[in-house]
Structure formats: C-alpha cells, structure tokens
Amino acid sequence: MPSTPTVGVLALQGDVREHTAALEAAGVQTCPVRRPEELDAVHGLVIPGGESTTMSNLAIAFGLLEPLRARIRGGMPAYGSCAGMIMLADKILDGRDDQETVGGIDMTVRRNAFGRQNESFEAAVEIAGIDGGPCEGVFIRAPWVESVGAGVEVLATLPDETIVAVRQGNLLATSFHPELTGDHRVHAFFAGLVRQSG
Ligand code: GLN
C-alpha cells in the first residue's frame, strides 16, 4: 500500500463527481472504475448514489459484477451511499425482479423505503466513530436497513430507530449522501479503513 492509497469510484452511473471531490478532500487519490482492469488497480472502492437498477444492469453489461464480488470477498474496503448501499446488501426488498447486487454486507435493505411523503428530506445523523457532532444526512429516495446479521455494526439510526448507516469489517454503507454536503468526515473515515487495510 502506497502512503496515498487510490480509491476507485464506480463510474457506471450516479454521483461519481461528488464522491471523487469528497475523497480527494479526504486526502486519497481517486480513479473512475468502469472496467475490470481499473478495479484491479484500486485499494478501495466507493459505490455512489444513483439508481441501483441501472447500476446493476451496467455492472452486468460491463462484465464487472463478478470481479466486484471477487474483490469484496477478498477484503477490499468499499463504501456505498444510497444506491451504493443497495449494491452492498446481501438481500434487498422492493428491488426489480432481475436486479443483482454485489453483496458483502449481511443485511436486508429496502429500496425507496421512506415512501412518497418523505421522498427527500434532511436529518441530523450522529454516526458512531465519527467525532465532531452529527452529520447532515441528505436522503433522496433512500433505502433503509431492515435487518442486519450478527457481524454487522449499526453506526447510525434515525430517532425512530430506522437503521441508516452500517459497517461490516471493511465495508461501510449509508442510506444518505455525505458527498452532497461538503462535510468530508464520512469519506475521511472510509479513507482510514482503506489505509488500515494495507
Ligand atoms: N432509489 C434509488 C435506487 O433504488 C436510490 C436513490 C439514490 O441513490 N439517491 O437505487
């Protein structure tokens, strides 16, 4: 592991630019990942927010789904926000019938869980392990975590106990989008996981 690791951003679809800027502000090098060879070259990966059904289609079309699964099984750190959280879930609810996920986190995630009344909202979210007060949680047609397995650490919940951030080993997922807020603490936390994994 070089002193400045390279974190890839899965660049099939979604808010790639915002994650790239947040990672660079957190002091790592970045690289867009669209092809299996590009995945081989990174020390960690961010899966952005966007639309998980489209990301699933494109991951299959670009021959990336199995390489992504293999790297995650091999211990590569990964962070998924919103649609990225869906992609890291072992099981999903309310997905499209043919929708695939990369998996890796032993959790069940419900897509578009907050419903029409609450399609987009903001909430202060206190995240375990991140100092300096709550983060601004931006939720956009967000998923929530319906249940987690024994190896999954719940990092954040809303006041009604809805789980919105989790970690399992080197894998991190949030229902919300810290990349849209200018607060880089979640990306800095993930960059720390990447540095420690080397
Ligand atoms: N609802 C989207 C999905 O199912 C996620 C929305 C987002 O990433 N902002 O993938």
The SS3 assignment for 54 reads helix
Q: How confident is the model at residue 115 (pLDDT cuts 50, 70, 90)?
A: confident
- Per-residue confidence (pLDDT) for residue 68, from 0 to 100: 98
Question: By CB neighbour count within 10 A (0-12 exposed, 13-18 middle, 19+ buried), where does 32 fall?
Answer: middle
**Options 19, 43, 177, 184, the catalytic residue:** 177
Proportion of the chain above pLDDT 90, given as a percent: 95
Instruction: Say if residue 167 carries a ligand binding annotation.
Output: no
- Whether the CB-CB separation of 111 and 94 falls below 8 Å is answered with yes
* Mean pLDDT, residues 144-148 taken together: 98
Q: Is 82 among the residues known to form the active site?
A: yes
Q: Which amino acid is at 68?
A: L
Residue 49 Cβ < 6 Å to ligand 1: yes
More confident call, 118 vs 132: 132
Map out the domains of the chain as residue ranges: 6-197
* Mean pLDDT, residues 119-147 taken together: 97
Residue closest via CA to ligand 1's atom 2 equals 51
- The CATH class of the 6-197 domain is alpha beta
**Options 18, 82, 100, 135, the catalytic residue:** 82
pLDDT in tens, 60-106: 999 999 999 999 999 999 999 999 999 999 999 999 999 999 999 99
Q: What is the pTM of this model?
A: 0.97
